[in-house]
Amino acid sequence: MPTGEAYADWEAVYRDNVDRVYRMMFAKVGNRPDAEDLTAEVFLAVLRPLRVSASVGEVRAYLQATARTVLADTGGAHSGWR
């Protein structure tokens, strides 16, 4: 999806970005269960403040920033974190 367009709905936001967020989390924690949990935390955290009308680029940037915040908030609590 081009970065200047907007998503049609939340399902489209999730489908287009879940793998990207999961890969980021897995790269940081090194195991599937924690990466899946953290990915879910990211999407739950963005549901309220993120506008679905935001452009794809804005959504991706917000997801990335939220992912970094979620990782920082865990403080290494996930078992596989290096």
**Mean pLDDT of successive 10-residue segments in the chain (82 residues)?**
81 96 96 97 89 88 94 70 46
| CA distance linking residue 71 with residue 55, whole number of Å | 24
Q: Which amino acid is at 35?
A: A
Beta bridge partners of 55: 6
Query: Is there a domain that residue 1 lies in?
Result: no
Task: Check residue 81 and give its pLDDT.
Answer: 47
Residues in the chain: 82
Query: Is there a domain that residue 82 lies in?
Result: no
Q: Which amino acid is at 78?
A: H
Query: Is there a domain that residue 29 lies in?
Result: yes
pTM over 0.95: no
35, 25 Cβ separation under 8 angstroms: yes
| Closest by CA position to 24, among listed 65, 53, 55, 52 | 65
Query: Is there a domain that residue 79 lies in?
Result: no
Q: Domain residues for 41?
A: 10-73
The number of distinct structural domains making up the chain is 1
Q: Which amino acid is at 70?
A: V
